[in-house]
Chain A
Amino acid sequence: MKRSILQQMAHTCGYAGRALALGAAAVVALLTFSAAPAAAHGERSQQAFLRMRTLNWYDVKWSKTSLNVNEEMELTGKVHVFSGWPQAVAKPQEAFLNVGEPGPVLIRKSASVGEVPVPRTFSMDVGYDYEYKIVLKARRPGRYHVHVQINVKDGGPIVGPGEWIEIKGDMKDFTNPVTLLDGSTIDLESYGINWTYLYHFVWMAAALVWILYWFLQKGIIVRGWQVAAGKRNEIITPEDKRFGGLWLAVAMLALLFFYANANREFPRTLPMQAGLLTGIPFIEDSRRETVAVHYSGGSYKVPGRELTVNLQITNKGQEPLRVGEFTTAGLRFLNPDVFTTRPVFPDYLLADRGLSVSDPSPIAPGETKNLVITVQDARFDVERLSDLAYDTDSQFGGLLFLFSPSGKREKVEIGGPVIPKFQLGATL
């Protein structure tokens, strides 16, 4: 049987179309099911000097590491805004306390800095320490890496330490009750969603009717021929115009009805709230100078993952002090002579034998001592702090903690330029 080209095309297209549709569906299914959950938030990709010399996180605690859907936990800690904040990064005049997690697996019920609620942007001052608290509520089952994070305007996100959090249960059980100012309670998880779908899809259905009304009259090609034949002014009839006018009138009336109905149903509405929160209280003893430190140079052995710093430390306090910890970019390097037990902290960030001091004896009150402090651990490399050697601003930074026999802790900021050593045995 003789078939036209278009018939053959239509026949072929039938098979090809089905095959194409099946193939496309398979690809979509494959992509959907093979999507692996995100396990980290790119903090290692940030330049080392930026992580070391912007925000120094300490005393970070996750109140729970395993919880059920709807259960709450607290993420608390302190952050020191480094005095030697890099010139390349905007200062935290506008900052936002955030959570690093793969989507809203836990929702943020509240957040505060210095006991001031911070649902919006706030301002921090360089050189001071701030205490923060975030209350999180478990929403989606799974195992997730959850970080504290502060976003700095024109600086980017600065990610703090992260911990694995296990959430059990079923997301269908999750609720997010919120009490409105009028006293009524709603579930924000699903509030207004059905109406949103309905409103949008009613208009979209109307749009489809409008399109098909015109398309089904003469299609596209025939109209094109008519226009090409110079009959463009004959295509639209007075009936068409009447229909169009009527259609628009009905659409505008429907819109008016929806609008009035919304105003009737929600008579009291407010504009969205925004604005910078200033005057956030810092930790009182942020600038206390019980310990004075003078940095007199240092080096970083790239192959050995070893940071060596020369410090002149003066103890201005009443008790002898020993260097116990150096923390930077969320990593903690501990002196095993001081930390006899391993603190609870994510293993990937805790080098419990990572710090050593040239003279282990305590610094007596009033004494000034020259010390060489060595920070060495593979985590330095794993967390890509070794890349400091390749940064445009090869200055390190961090917090040094000293401990008295009574258990009192003194914090002091250290930092300065370091000279990289690319070969073992090389000298400064």
Chain B
Amino acid sequence: MSITNETTPAAGGAWVSKEEFLGCVKLTDWILLLILFLVLLGSFHIHYMLLAGDWDFWIDFKDRRMWPTVAPIVAMCFAAAAQSFFWQKFRLPFGATLAVFALLVGEWINRYDNFWGWTFFPINLVFPSALIPMGFWLDVVLLLSGSWVVTAVVGAMGWGLLFYPSNWPVLAQYHQATEVDGVLLTLADLIGFNYVRTGTPEYIRMIERGTLRTFGKDVVPVAAFFSGFVSMLVYFLWWKVGGWFSTTAYLENDEI
């Protein structure tokens, strides 16, 4: 970390030396980063689990229509809010990446410790959605454009479009076909069937339900474009929410 004299405000009498001051700033930076990381991890995790829920928990819910529609839209909320905070307050272009990275750290702890460690669901049933490439896209669009409006339009559309390709490298292997007692299943279906979930009956899956079927079997592009479009709207809203949450309010002395 480099801090020049130019950027260093007057230390005043609280510091023994300039080095001590800079050391304190550096230490506080790390503490701040850790706190922000943990806050994002916890809050984004709760948000995502409540809104994406089963779509993110189970491999046999990750279909071509509902999952790539819902997951990016609900993930956009915290990514936009985090970008708003880090960009407007600090000109740091890592808000979206930090948000999804924190979410994934939390999710992997949850999936490994709870789903596998306690309940013994195999990881290939419960791995989370990959979101990091979308975070890079959103951050770099903001970095290059310097405009939240451009990020909302270009970044959010890319965010929606990139979701399925970001996950396909892992998902493809589980969409190979097999046959059980004369019934055609993908491996994803079979994992869900084999590994019993007492509270998750098959009928609560929403596999490619909907009405937009104009493009034949090309379900994903339609879902991805729709998701990108809604993500734009969500971005606009949550950029403002992020700004609102990161507003510093001061109390007057006589109010204290």
Contacts and interface: CB of A to CB of B under 8 A. Distances in A.
B91 A227 contact: yes
Nearest to A209: B97
Contacts of A196: 123-124, 127, 170
A217 B201 contact: no
Contacts of B136: 206-207, 210, 247-248, 251
A215 B25 CA distance: 13
Contacts of A108: 193-196
A281 B124 CA distance: 35
- Main SS of the interface on chain B? helix
Interface in B110-134: 117-124, 127-128, 130, 132-133
B185 to A, nearest CB: 5
A71 interface: no
A4 B169 contact: no
Contacts of B127: 196, 200
B198 A100 contact: yes
Interface stretch (A117-125, A358-366, A402-410): A117-125
B113 to A, nearest CB: 8
Interface stretch (B44-52, B69-77, B137-145, B226-234): B137-145
B250 interface: no
B203 interface: yes
Contact of A109 (B137, B194, B205): B194
Contacts of B168: 259, 262-263
A251 B121 CA distance: 31
A228 B193 CA distance: 56
Contacts, number: 300
Nearest to A240: B143
B189 A99 contact: no
Contacts of B201: 96, 98, 121, 151, 153, 157
A191 B123 contact: no
B82 to A, nearest CB: 11
A316 to B, nearest CB: 39
27 contacts: A101-B196, A101-B198, A104-B195, A106-B196, A107-B194, A110-B180, A117-B180, A153-B201, A180-B177, A188-B190, A196-B123, A207-B100, A207-B135, A207-B136, A208-B101, A211-B98, A218-B7, A221-B28, A232-B91, A236-B93, A236-B143, A241-B144, A244-B93, A248-B140, A262-B169, A268-B176, A272-B60
Interface of A: 2, 4-7, 10, 32, 35, 41, 94-96, 98-112, 117, 119-121, 139-140, 149, 151, 153, 157, 171, 176, 178-182, 186, 188-193, 195-197, 199-200, 203-204, 206-208, 210-211, 214-227, 232, 235-236, 240-241, 244-245, 247-248, 251-252, 255, 258-259, 261-263, 265-266, 268-274
